[in-house]
Amino acid sequence: MILGLLGPLAGLVVIYFIKYSSSKFGDFLDVFIHDNRLITSVGTLSLLANALLFALYVQLDKYQTFKGIFIVTLIYGILILVLKILN
């Protein structure tokens, strides 16, 4: 489950450095939380990191690990949806 928590955070940091590095990370997070377009696009791209982890652990037959990654991915997806609805 910890891998599932770290994957999207790592994805978010990578997206920040690739596209938004000219602004402060705190400002980027503030815009991410309050801008519906950014919530959808950046949130989805962040979750791709979990998709890669999920595929890796399926190949390695680590069933308990990929179940945890899947559950955390669902939770992240629901949180992104809630953020989008509340904005």
Per-block mean pLDDT, blocks of 10 residues, the chain (87 long): 77 86 90 80 80 86 85 88 84
Q: Which residues contact 70 (CB under 8 A, 6 or more apart)?
A: 4, 54
Question: How many distinct structural domains can be found in the chain?
Answer: 1
Question: Which residue intervals of the chain are DSSP H helices?
Answer: 2-19, 25-34, 36-59, 63-86
pTM value surpassing 0.75: no
pLDDT given for residue 22 in this prediction: 93
Q: How many CB atoms lie within 10 A of CB 8?
A: 25
* Length of the chain counted residue by residue: 87
Tell me, what's the pLDDT at 38? 79
Which residue range(s) make up the domain with 11?
2-86
Per DSSP, 61 falls in state T
